[in-house]
Every structure is written in structure tokens, then in C-alpha cells.
Structure 1
Amino acid sequence: MSKTRFAATLLDYLRKAQESKIEKEKTVYRQAIVKRVSILDLKGNIVVIAEKPKAAKKIYEALSYLGYGKVYRYSNIPYWVIKKGVLTITITPAAGHLFGLDTDERGYPVFTYVWKPLYMIEKDASHTRKFIELLRKICSNGDYYINACDYDIEGSVIGFMVIKNFGDVNKCYRAKFSSLTKTELRQAFNNLTSLDWNMVEAGLCRHELDWIWGINVSRALMDSVYSVSGKRIVLSAGRVQTPTLRYVVENNIARNLFIPLPQYTISVSILVGDMKYQLEYKGPLIETRRQAEYIRDKLRESRVLVVEDYREDVRKLNPPPPFNLGDLQEEAAKIYKFSPYKTQSIAEKLYLSAYISYPRTNSQKLPPTLDYRGILDNLAKIYQYNALVKTLLQETRGVLKPVQGPKEDPAHPAIYPTGIIPQKLSSDEQKIYDLIVRRFLAVFAPPARIAHKTIVLKPLTINGNISFQLTGQKIVYLGWLRYYYFHKPSEQGAPTLEVGEKVRILSVSIRRVFTKPPEKLSRIKILRWMESNNIGTEATRARIIELLFKRKYLKSTGGATEATSLGQGVIEVLTEYFSELTSVELTRKFENYLEEIRIMKRRREEVINEAKKTLLELLRRFDEKKKEVGLKLAWRLGIMDPPEKCLLCNREVYRENLCIYHFKALEALKEMYSEWRRREGVNWEQYVRELAKLKSTGKWVREVIKEIIMRKI
């Protein structure tokens, strides 16, 4: 059959299947009873849908004890058949999402859409066609269907769409598991539940929200550019990606407009016996050199400090909780400089090989039903963990009670090693696996104990609350740090002193420091921001960040993540004219709606209707400003020149021959001059030349200073 004919036949098949099942599904959606059955209770042809071929193979290996099994291939895609009497189990893989939303309508707003095979929508999804052909063939002969895709809303949708289009959702069950070990898979298939409609509905709603948001706003942006330039430029916006991009843009703006302020601290070293110690200044902020010189001179005159407070204590340092995905991504970024997406991809590979549990989880808790001792005994068979496991069992006397974190996930526990011994891991895979194993060991270990000394010293000749501090610490008991050593505290010595004792000042100096700009962003900091604002999911956050790079909205500069001129331009326009589209609040509201669907407190239809209503109003306002929006975007894209260009860049003039950012930089320079003059006693020329030398001075401020020095401003 030709590709064109196959596509037409398939679409017709899907349409008829959808129409014939609509009434049946309405009945099923209302079911609230969760039936638990074993796969052995079923008769006839059972079709098991796995999310990917590797997962399908693991399921086959777990169920092969049931009867005679054999692997078959369709266009080089493996599927497995197990026969036992009147029972035939066919385990067939998907390739992740096989269906997506599409429309034949042009323009915007567009709210009419259908689910289609993904290869008909996306060019790079051509490989999914063979999977769809295979699943259609296998499902057509099914008596029962089991969704054995990952137990999250994405996996629920993947399996549901296959069964809905090629099988029968009224004869469907759900397999729930958190790892691909034989034990857990067998348990899952002996405790099948009815279809997880709540998860399916939440997943379908997320897809629909993302689609109607993305296609309408993206088309509106592209149409605005076309209306003024006649050029078709690909632009995109999204329900989650746009607020995330705005966060990066706002950070960039703050950094580029930053003007550091000078302040002072006093550096003092003391001599105790024959040991020299450096003290930390703990007094009030010293804003002027004159204040700093007064304190320095008084200390030099006195030559001694007196011990005002001396404390020794031993503090417990409790073990960290087991990993959820965000924690794992953060640790891998800190220790190995891995991007969140890379860490997630590696963790998913380890999961598909059954080496770790399901990684896309928010949970920091391990279930009491997990065989902790069995996992440890298996880990002990790996040479590098053998001694650690033995020590852990001695320290705990075999009583294995894990530290539990506050975060929970209704679907999966925290990430843990399954105990299956890995084979042929790459260097990067080994690093992630090692992090997970060591963290797992650490959660059972006792707290570390750290001996602390805190010494507060006061000058004799200065009134006020000026003081200096010396701290020391030493690890007296490693505890969990023996297993998870990546954050072992640095040890530093401190003398033993008594309150009232005088110590000799060895040296005193003034150190000028400067206020710091907002911190540079990294991929992991952006991901953590998304988490803290409850936008996106464990599965999607890292992917959204990478999408912003792919769209050329973000770039990496010297290890930091910054917005490109295009990314900044898109946010400028959307924030100025339609700030709701970039707001965290609106995105978070719909994320909360999705969670309410999952817990059956809200219906998908009402959420989609509210989203359509919101978008219609925003797009109506957009159309009123379409030309203004199009011009600004065309200027940012460099496909049209503004009537007047900024003296320092290609942006349009805002005021005084400067764009809005360079104008703001100039205004900030003028505003901060009086404070610099008060603190440093400098004139205008000295002020700008000082700022020009400082690396922390914002980029736009430095550019304005350069022109000031050249007498152009």
C-alpha cells in the first residue's frame, strides 16, 4: 500500500473508531470502582503496550515464566508473544508518543483540532509510522488490552491513544510499576487495575492546553511580522516556555543595568601562640573609606582584641533525603556540570535497563515495602560498593530506616538502585548511577557529627557593635558522609581561648568590596525556578529549557545561560502588550487545574473552555496592536530597520538617541553618582572611569560609559 493510501486509510479508520466508541467511553469515564485482576484471570489474546522497545523486552523477560515465548519482528521492530493454554500475551512497544494534535485550519484563533499519527504532523517522527502499523495489526486481534507504559500522565496518554484508536478502552487494564525488575513487573501484572482515567484526562488536557496556547500565540506573532514585512519567519511561544524565557530575560536586564556600589570591610589577622588566624568582620556595613580608616587606625593603636564569646559544640549533620529527579539533576550539575536534560536522559536509560527505579518523580520518600536489605546485598556484589555496604550494615546493626524528605509523588517513590548489577555503562552513565547508589546508602546511615568552635572578638578602643569572628570545624564522625562524600565540609582549625582573654593583632588592612549583581543563571537554576513556581513537570522542564536553546531564544555564554536578542525581543513585545501570556500566575493556575483533574476535582472540558476564553480575549487585544507588535519584532529580527537606531545598538530609539535599555543605563548612572560621590568623594569622570574597570558593571552601563568617555553622550 502506498504511503498516501495508507495515511488516508488510517485517518478514516481512526475517525470511524473514534465515532463508534464515543458513547462507550462516556460510560467508562464515570466508573469509579478500581478492579484488581491478575493477567492469568484473563482469557484469549492479551495485548500489552509498552512505552519503548527496551521496556517491552523487560516485561517479556518478567512474564516469560508463564509459558512458551518467542520474539518476532515487524519492519525490524521486535515484539514478543507468550502462549499458555487459551492465553496469548503479545507485548508490543510504542516509541513514546505516537499521536499528536493537528488542525487543517489556517490563521488564528484556532480551536478545532484532531489527534493524528505523529509522523503525519512532524517530519522527524517518520520512524513512528512502523510502530503504528505494528500496533494496529496486533491490537485488531486483541480481546483485552493492558497499558504498561510508564506510570505518569505521559505514559497514560501514550497507551490510551493506542488502545482508543486500535483496541477497546472498555476491555483495558493498567499495569503500575516503578521499576523494570522481574519482581516488580510480576507483581504489577498480578495486580492490574482498571484504566487510570484521571491520569488520562489530565494528560490529554495538558496536551490540548499546550497545543492551543502554542499554536495561537505562535501564529499571532508570525502573522504580525508578516503583516509589516511580507516575510514568513518561524517564531514560537508556549504556555510554560514563555514565562520561563521571561525569567531569564528579566535576569539579563537586571545584570546588564547593574551598577556596583563600593563598601568596605576590615581584614584582621591575629597571632595565638605561633599560629596565625584570619578573622571575619561582623560589624555594621562600612560605606565610606573614612569610616574604614577610623576603624583601622583604632585597631592598630590598640594592637589587641578581647574574646567576648567562646563556644564549642558538636552538631549533627543529618543525611540528605533520597533523590527525586530535581535533586539528582542539581547534584549532577554541581558535581559533573551535566545539564538537567543530559542527567534526565541518562537516568531514563538506566531505568530502561532496570538498574534504577523510575526517575521522573518528585518524591523524596522510599516505601517501607521496598526490600532494602535485598538491594544492599546485591550492591555488595559490585566491587566498589562492597566495603561500603558492609560498613553500613555494621553501623546500622542491620536496622534499615531511611531518611525521608518532605516531597511526595502519588505515582512513584524516590529514585533508588534496584540492585541489578549494571553491565557496560558509559563513563557518564556510571557517574549518574554512582550518585544514585551513594545517595541510597547515605539515607540509611547515621548523622555525621561536626565539632564547631565560634569565637567572637571585640576591639577595646571602639564603641559600638563592631566585632570579629573566627570559626573552626572538624569532622568527628563521618556518618553518612562516608557514603556520599560529595559535600564533605572543609575542616579548619581554631584556637582554644577563654572569654576575656586578649589576643594580639598581627595585621589590619582595609579591603574595598562591591555589591554584587544578580547571579548568573544556569540550566539547573532555571529548572529549580520552574519547580519553585510550579510550572512544567518533572518530565518536561529540562526539555523546555533545551527547546528555548533550539529556538535560539537562549544561548550559553561563559557557562551562563542568557537570552538572545530574539528571545529578549519576543518577551519585550509580549510583556508590553500581553503580559498575561508571560505571567507565571496564569501558567500556574492552569497547572493547578491539571492537578485537580488528576485528583478528579475538575473536568477537562471546563479547563479547556476557560483556556479558549482567555486566549480569545488576549488575541482580540493582540489584533488591535498587530502592526506595532510586528514592527518591534521585525526590528529585533533584523529584517526591517527602525526609523531611528540607537546610538549604541540596532534597537529603535526610545529617548535621547538611545534605545530603552541604554537610556535606562544612562539614567541609572546619573542616579547612582550621588551615592558614589558620598562614599568615595569622586567627581563624575572618576566615577565613570572606575565603573568602566569593574567586571560586575552591567554590559549596557559599560557601553554608555564608553560613549561618555568618548564625549558622544
Structure 2
Amino acid sequence: MKVLCVAEKNSIAKSVSQILSGGNIQVSNSPYKYVKNYKFNYDGFSFATGNGSCEVTMTSVAGHLTSTDFNNEFYGWGRCNPFELFDANISHSKNPDQQKIGTNIQTLARNVDYLMIWTDCDREGEYIGWEIFEEAKKGNSRLNNNNLYRAIFSHLERRHIINAARNPERLDQRAVEAVGTRIELDLRTGVSFTRLLTDTMARKVEMNTLSQNNNRRVKKNKEKTVISYGPCQFPTLGFVVDRHERIRNFRKEEFWSIQLIVTDPSQSSTTTFTWDRGHLFDRLSVLTFYEVCLELAGNQAKVCDVKSKPVTKWRPFPLTTVELQKNCARYFKMNAKQSLLAAEKLYQKGFISYPRTETDTFPQSMDLKSLIEKQYKDCNPSAWSTYAQNLLEGLDSANPNNKFRFPRAGSHDDKAHPPIHPVIGIGPNVFFDPNEKKVYEYVVRHFLACCSEDGKGQMTSISLDWNNEVFNANGLVVLERNWLDIYPWMKWENSKTMPRLEMNQDVTITKAEMKNGFTSPPKPMTESELIMLMDANGIGTDATIAEHIEKIKARNYITSDKVSKETYLNPTVLGIALVQGFEAIGLEDSFAKPFQRREMEDDLKKICRGTLTKREVVNDIVNKYKDYYSRTDQNKNKLLQVYDQVKQVGLTA
């Protein structure tokens, strides 16, 4: 029996081949220099007759095997009305590198009995697997759905890969259709609106750029300015512009409040009690409360409530892609693209599980304790190895005193991959670049924190009655830090010692004062916040969020500005003009808001469930965009007018 296995990347093909062959591999070159062919024998495939030994050739692609576009002869830029692209025929082609990879697959598939797909286990991986299948059939007409299999795996640990080889499944054709739908819609809507916006605005933007640089020598840019549109790019831009507008339109307001300060003679410490009403914007009202309390109660208050209760600092949920990107941005100031790239390299090297996942729940059957053991056994001592060992200490005794706890279950499960977790520990000859090192340590610490006990503390709350006005103070004593000992980015500290007061006890007020303050504007958008907003509103997937942020930076719709230790995202004149221009046309809900894209993502899920078809979704959304296009084309002068207005007003007005 001959089997052709095809992975999504050469590094995965190499690792899987080494595991299945036991290291006995013959390596040869392919027409594409970054793809190798690995030949070996393997006897574990369940589909092989009699489970006998198979001659296996394993190779790979390098991402998508085809490119989807319009025929340039008929639909190239300037050769048709962009509106025609909503109904134009779409072609699938290969660039020279893709052609070389395709030729390699055709050649290797000629005499095989089975084709096994080893692409990443997500929607995109299913689509790439289908592309591989279509290419292999060109070299072997005997290949069909009956001799096509698909390996299900999420990391490169040996037992996991062997299990994937022994228990293959079939390609998910519905997922293939969902990705094909997204590719077609993004192409039709993106290209048509990009051409419309560029034809309308590019000249004005170029002239503005030249005028800004008229006092210095500027190298002439031969590339045409492109004002691109993307159904994920624009809502992403909309979030940044919305924050900018809220800051620019903010007007501070003065407010007033009352606070009491009480001294505990036994401890020579003071405690501040805050007003239960918070603060009010009417100074006269607060002054009235203050003067009445002073007149009728003086400096005496009464304890009206004393509570002491245990509190819990919950350990984090298991790690998803979005949480990884968000926290790497927050803790390490790494942008989403950098953190995801580092995570993918770690996955390809076999150190962590597949880093593109929406799942925040570990299956009960998963052996998490063996993963913890690998962080202190057979690896170099690390900053967390002792903690990992202590988690499992006493696990096998009659009265185990270990602190291992099965992780909390979140509310998301994509049914494809488990949460991100470490697979192996750091060996003696491991070399990481700085970003890989940070991401690996974060993944390990997050995983260990998930498997730890929650933090435990005691919260004391005291309320004072000052002439029927209530004032509160809280104090925290941390009793057990637990997971916080391995998670240095989260703070949970003891607060000031509370005074020793009892119910109905009279208390002398050291100071009662009326204080004022001012409301503060929101801060500019950080990348961590933007990732959270995109995830919450269904803009992009866990794997593409970083791409959309980078795209609007590259198009000069936003800038990334460092202030002190923080990096903020701010819109440019062009970015603001695009969002406000579509608002002027009346399309803000469809372009700068997330509703349209969220609706499409919901439709893609319905395709995966079989309740909608690709053609139904494409027809529905294309018809909507035809209407958006017509309205934009009829009102395109508004885009230019808004651009001039924003340029005149400036960014800081």
C-alpha cells in the first residue's frame, strides 16, 4: 500500500515523518526549495488492508495552494466598471511557487492508494486540504472521497501524532464551503469598493501628501495610492476612530463628594470612608448634605454594618488565541502579529499546542498532570519548575496534599483544538528568539496557573452612619496566593488594616471634608483593547485579528504611537475621513460598525451546520453590497467633502 501524506508546512511534515518513521527517513528535494519529500514505512494506518506496512511519502504545501481572483484581461483595474465584479466569474490560479508545489503533489500522487491530509485542524486547514485533494486528483484519477483521509491533531507530541495517524477522519466539506464563501465575498466586496474608493479619493490624498512635504525633497513614489476596503478592516478602523472622537469631543465636568477619615488609636492608622452616593455633579446639593450632617451629627458617626467574608481570586480560564494576543500586548508590548508568529514557531518546533483556537475548556479525559511533569522532569531547571513540581507533590499518597486542580471550564469550544498549552519542557540545547521565549514562558505560566488553586482572602467591610448618610471602607487580607505565585502579571495585595470596630459602636470622625474632582477622558486605544473589541464583536477570527490590525496600519488609516511605556493606536486624517464619510452617506452600520461582518460570520457557522448553503449566503450579501455600492457611487462627493473637512479641522481639535 502506498500513502501520500500532505501537511500545511514543511516543518510539520518533517516532525510528523520523524515520529511515524522512528527517525528512519529518506529525504529528497521537491521542485520548490522550501518543501522536502520524506519517505518511510509505517504500519499503523487503520485504513490499510490488514493494518500492514505502508510505503509513505510525506510532503507539504506552503499555505494555500491556489489564489482566487478575477481574470485580469476582462476585469483588470480600469478595464471594467467595478460594479461588474459583484457578478464576474472568479478564477483560481497559481503563482510560480504554488505551481511548483502543485506539480510535486501531482507527481507524488500518481501511484498512491490513499491520500491523507495533515493540514491545521481549522476551517482554513480544511480548505487547504481540499485544494491538495483537487491537485492530487490531477495526478491520480483513482483518488476519491473513499480513499481520502484527514488527520486530527493539535500538537506534535509523539503519542498524539501516532493516535492521529491511527484514527483519521474525513475532510469537512461544509467547512470547505464556508471558507470558499468567505473568500468569494471578501474578493467581490473588497476589490469593487477598493477600486471605487481609490478612483474617488486617491488623487486628493496624494496631493495632500505632496503639500505636507513641499518644504523637503521627497523621492517620487511611482506606486499608486490605494484606498483599500475590507469588511473586517473598516469595523476595526471604526473602533479606533470612535475612541478618538470620544476623546476629542470630551468636555470635563466637575463633581463633588464627601469623605470621612477615622483614626484607630490602637494601631495609629487612618482609614478613609467613601460616600455611598459616590459623587454628584451639583455642588449645592453636596454642600447641603455636608452642612446638615455637620450641624446635626458633628464629628460622631455610628457603625451600621460590619461584614467579614472569604473572597476568591479566580485563576484564569484556559488559554485561547485571542487571550494570548491580548495579554502579550498588555504584558510584553508585543503586537498581535508578533505574538501569533512566535506562537506558531513554537508550535512548529513542538513546544506548544496549536496556537489558533477559540476553546477555553480542557476535556476531562486530557492528561494534564503528565504535561505538568514535563515542566520539571527531563528539562533544564526553570523559574517555574519548582512550582510545577509542588503542584503534584503528594498526588499518589493516601492523603494527597497536592495543589493540582483541574482547570475551570470556559464557555467556548470550537470542537477542533484544546486550549493552548505547553507540550514539552525546555531541553538543554533549546534556542528561542526573545519573542518566542516570552510567549513560551507566558504559555507555561498561564497553564500552570489554570491547574492551580484559586487565590484565597478575607474581605472586611465597615459602614458608618453619619446622620443617615452611609460611608463605606473595605480591607483585604490575602491568605493564600496560590496561582498568583506563578503569574507575576496579576496583582492581589493586602490593603490597609481596618480599624477594630463593632456593630452600633460610636466613632469619632477625625476629618470630614467635601472634595471635588473632574471627569477624565478615555485614553487612546491600545492594541490589547482593540483585540478584545474585535473578538467580542466577531470581527475576524482568532487567526486573522492580527492581520486586520496590521493592514489598517499599512494603509495609513491608523498610527501606532508610543507614549511613555504604553503604545496607543490613533487614526490618521484619512482613517477618520473614511469612517465619517460613510456616516455622511448613511452606511455607518454597514461599514464602520461590526454588524455586517458579524452577520456574515454567523452565516458561515450556519453553512458549517448545514442550515444554509454557500450560494444562499453569497447571493444575500452580494445583493446588499450592490445597494451599498450604488449609494456610495451616487454620493462619492461626500467622501471628498468630509476628507477636506477633517483635514481642515485637524486631529487634535
TM tier, shorter chain?
0.7 to 0.9
In the alignment, which residue of structure 1 is the partner of 2:60?
93
What is the CA RMSD across the aligned residues, in angstroms?
Answer: 2.8
1:555 and 2:554 equivalent? Answer: no
1:487 and 2:490 equivalent? Answer: yes
- For residues 451-487 of structure 1, the C-alpha deviation after alignment (integer angstroms, 9 at most, x for no partner) is 111111232xx4x5x3322211111122333333432
Look up the equivalent residue of 1:217 and give its one-letter code: F
In the alignment, which residue of structure 2 is the partner of 1:337?
333
In the alignment, which residue of structure 1 is the partner of 2:510?
506
- Residue among 595, 598, 620 paired with 2:605: 595
1:53 and 2:52 equivalent? Answer: no
Please tell me whether the aligned partners of residues 342 and 439 of structure 2 are also in contact (alpha carbons under 8 angstroms): yes
Please tell me whether the aligned partners of residues 69 and 92 of structure 2 are also in contact (alpha carbons under 8 angstroms): yes
Q: Aligned partners of 1:285, 1:143: CA distance in 2, in Å?
A: 76
Q: How does 1:63-212 map to 2 (within 5 A)?
A: 63-65=20-22, 68-74=24-30, 75-77=32-34, 78-83=36-41, 87-103=54-70, 104=72, 105-106=75-76, 107-109=81-83, 110=85, 111-117=87-93, 119=95, 128=98, 130-167=100-137, 168=143, 170=145, 171-212=147-188
Look up the equivalent residue of 2:277 and give its one-letter code: G
In the alignment, which residue of structure 2 is the partner of 1:12?
none
Q: Aligned partners of 1:487, 1:190: CA distance in 2, in Å?
A: 42
Q: Aligned partners of 1:351, 1:449: CA distance in 2, in Å?
A: 34
Q: 1:68 Cα shift?
A: 4.4
- Residue among 203, 210, 233 paired with 2:225: 233
- For residues 401-449 of structure 1, the C-alpha deviation after alignment (integer angstroms, 9 at most, x for no partner) is 3321122112111112113435222333222222222222222323321
In the alignment, which residue of structure 2 is the partner of 1:632?
641
Q: How does 1:307-386 map to 2 (within 5 A)?
A: 307-381=303-377, 382=379, 383-384=381-382, 385-386=384-385
Q: How does 1:437-456 map to 2 (within 5 A)?
A: 437-456=444-463
In the alignment, which residue of structure 2 is the partner of 1:582?
592
In the alignment, which residue of structure 2 is the partner of 1:263?
255
Q: Aligned partners of 2:392, 2:292: CA distance in 1, in Å?
A: 58
- For residues 519-574 of structure 1, the C-alpha deviation after alignment (integer angstroms, 9 at most, x for no partner) is 43211211211211122111111211111111111112332212111111111222
In the alignment, which residue of structure 1 is the partner of 2:629?
619
Instruction: List runs of 5+ in structure 2 lacking aligned partners.
Output: 43-51, 138-142, 208-223
Q: 1:395 Cα shift?
A: 7.3
In the alignment, which residue of structure 1 is the partner of 2:211?
none
Q: 1:591 Cα shift?
A: 0.7
- Residue among 528, 542, 545 paired with 2:549: 545
Q: Aligned partners of 1:114, 1:517: CA distance in 2, in Å?
A: 48
Please tell me whether the aligned partners of residues 452 and 471 of structure 1 are also in contact (alpha carbons under 8 angstroms): yes
Please tell me whether the aligned partners of residues 445 and 479 of structure 1 are also in contact (alpha carbons under 8 angstroms): yes
- For residues 292-339 of structure 1, the C-alpha deviation after alignment (integer angstroms, 9 at most, x for no partner) is 555566677723433221111222333222111122223223322222
Q: 1:164 Cα shift?
A: 0.9
Q: Aligned partners of 2:290, 2:481: CA distance in 1, in Å?
A: 41
Please tell me whether the aligned partners of residues 395 and 445 of structure 1 are also in contact (alpha carbons under 8 angstroms): no
Q: Aligned partners of 2:647, 2:438: CA distance in 1, in Å?
A: 45
Please tell me whether the aligned partners of residues 99 and 115 of structure 1 are also in contact (alpha carbons under 8 angstroms): no
Please tell me whether the aligned partners of residues 534 and 591 of structure 1 are also in contact (alpha carbons under 8 angstroms): yes
State the number of aligned residues.
589
Look up the equivalent residue of 1:391 and give its one-letter code: N
Q: Aligned partners of 1:69, 1:448: CA distance in 2, in Å?
A: 50
Please tell me whether the aligned partners of residues 405 and 453 of structure 2 are also in contact (alpha carbons under 8 angstroms): no
Please tell me whether the aligned partners of residues 12 and 348 of structure 2 are also in contact (alpha carbons under 8 angstroms): yes
Q: 1:174 Cα shift?
A: 0.8
- Residue among 464, 473, 476 paired with 2:476: 473
Q: Aligned partners of 1:330, 1:225: CA distance in 2, in Å?
A: 34
Instruction: State the TM-score, normalized to the length of structure 2.
Output: 0.83
In the alignment, which residue of structure 1 is the partner of 2:388?
389
- Residue among 608, 613, 626 paired with 2:618: 608
Please tell me whether the aligned partners of residues 376 and 425 of structure 2 are also in contact (alpha carbons under 8 angstroms): no
1:281 and 2:280 equivalent? Answer: no
Q: Aligned partners of 2:289, 2:19: CA distance in 1, in Å?
A: 75
- Three-state SS of the structure 1 residue aligned to 2:591 is helix
Q: Aligned partners of 1:314, 1:158: CA distance in 2, in Å?
A: 52
Please tell me whether the aligned partners of residues 129 and 171 of structure 2 are also in contact (alpha carbons under 8 angstroms): no
Q: Aligned partners of 1:228, 1:478: CA distance in 2, in Å?
A: 59
Q: Aligned partners of 1:113, 1:542: CA distance in 2, in Å?
A: 30
Please tell me whether the aligned partners of residues 127 and 176 of structure 2 are also in contact (alpha carbons under 8 angstroms): yes
Please tell me whether the aligned partners of residues 327 and 528 of structure 2 are also in contact (alpha carbons under 8 angstroms): no
Query: Does the C-alpha gap of structure 1 residues 229 and 325 become closer, same or farther in structure 2, counting only changes over 3 Å?
Result: closer
Q: Aligned partners of 1:284, 1:390: CA distance in 2, in Å?
A: 47
Q: Report which of the two has the higher share of helix.
A: 1
Q: Aligned partners of 2:333, 2:474: CA distance in 1, in Å?
A: 31
Q: Aligned partners of 2:424, 2:364: CA distance in 1, in Å?
A: 17
Q: Aligned partners of 2:277, 2:157: CA distance in 1, in Å?
A: 59
Query: Does the C-alpha gap of structure 1 residues 129 and 264 become closer, same or farther in structure 2, counting only changes over 3 Å?
Result: farther
- For residues 128-187 of structure 1, the C-alpha deviation after alignment (integer angstroms, 9 at most, x for no partner) is 565445334434554422211100011112222132134345342111111111211111
- Three-state SS of the structure 2 residue aligned to 1:560 is strand
- Three-state SS of the structure 1 residue aligned to 2:194 is helix
Please tell me whether the aligned partners of residues 369 and 392 of structure 2 are also in contact (alpha carbons under 8 angstroms): no
Please tell me whether the aligned partners of residues 306 and 501 of structure 1 are also in contact (alpha carbons under 8 angstroms): yes
- Three-state SS of the structure 1 residue aligned to 2:500 is coil
Please tell me whether the aligned partners of residues 177 and 184 of structure 1 are also in contact (alpha carbons under 8 angstroms): yes
512-521 or 527-536, which deviates more = 512-521
- For residues 253-274 of structure 1, the C-alpha deviation after alignment (integer angstroms, 9 at most, x for no partner) is 1211111111023343321011
- Three-state SS of the structure 2 residue aligned to 1:102 is strand
Q: 1:360 Cα shift?
A: 1.0
Q: Aligned partners of 2:470, 2:510: CA distance in 1, in Å?
A: 16
Instruction: State the TM-score, normalized to the length of structure 1.
Output: 0.77
Look up the equivalent residue of 1:356 and give its one-letter code: I
Identity %: 25
Please tell me whether the aligned partners of residues 548 and 554 of structure 1 are also in contact (alpha carbons under 8 angstroms): yes
Q: 1:602 Cα shift?
A: 1.5
- Three-state SS of the structure 2 residue aligned to 1:379 is coil
- Three-state SS of the structure 2 residue aligned to 1:451 is strand
Query: Does the C-alpha gap of structure 1 residues 284 and 159 become closer, same or farther in structure 2, counting only changes over 3 Å?
Result: closer
Q: Aligned partners of 2:91, 2:158: CA distance in 1, in Å?
A: 35
Look up the equivalent residue of 2:437 and give its one-letter code: Q
Query: Does the C-alpha gap of structure 1 residues 435 and 650 become closer, same or farther in structure 2, counting only changes over 3 Å?
Result: closer
